[in-house]
Amino acid sequence: MSLEQNKKNAIAFYKTAYEGNPKDAIRQYVGNEYIQHNPDATDGVEEFINYFERMQEEYPAG
């Protein structure tokens, strides 16, 4: 996979999660393991989903 395609995938992954679909982001772009580099979040697929669902509740769009 090219560097450009990796960039597009990363942007699509986070856009999907930020728009309120973290489960879909995981399903489309992540394997069985997710390592988080944000110090305010923990590693793991379920933790990623929980984090973004919580963020959606705390900061709803509009």
C-beta of residue 48 within 8 angstroms of C-beta of residue 26: yes
- Which pTM was predicted? 0.75
pLDDT, residue 62, reads 56
User: What are the tokens at 35?
Assistant: 């390592």
Per-residue confidence band for 3, with pLDDT thresholds at 50, 70 and 90:
very high
CB-CB contact of 22 with 53 (8 Å): yes
pLDDT of residue 51: 87
Residue range 4-62, pLDDT digits in tens: 999 999 999 989 998 889 999 999 999 888 898 888 778 999 998 998 898 888 888 75
